[in-house]
Amino acid sequence: MGIQLNEFNVSDIKSIGLKIYNAIFNKKKNIIIDEIEYSIQRFSSGIKYVDFSGYRFIQQNHNKKSEWGKKARQGHQIMWILKGSRYLARIMDGDFIDLKKEKE
C-alpha cells in the first residue's frame, strides 16, 4: 500500500527527502519510492529535481546570487522540498531542516 498525500508527515517527508537527496547527489538517474520508479529530471539549467505526490524535491542552483547559491558554489550539497510555492524543508550536507519549525 503506497503513501497517500494526506498521510504525509514530517517523518515521511524526511525519509523520502533523504532518499531523493542521496540519489541526486550520487548521480543516479532514477529512484524507487514505494516500489515505483521515478526519474530524476533536469531543468535546462541542469538543476536536478524529482516530482513526487504533489511535492517537488529540487537541487539548489549554484548559479543563483543568493546565500544558498553561494553555499552550493562552496561545495555544500543542498536540496529543497516544496509543495506548490511553499518551501517545507531543506536538506544540506545530509541534515534535514524542517522550515516550519525553524520559523517558530
**Average of per-residue pLDDT across 51-64:** 95
Cell 546570487 found at: 65
pLDDT above 60 for 1 = no
Residue 59 pLDDT: 98
77: domain range?
Answer: 5-103
Residue linked to cell 537527496:
21
Contact of 73 with 64, CB cutoff 8 Å: no
Q: What is the pTM of this model?
A: 0.87
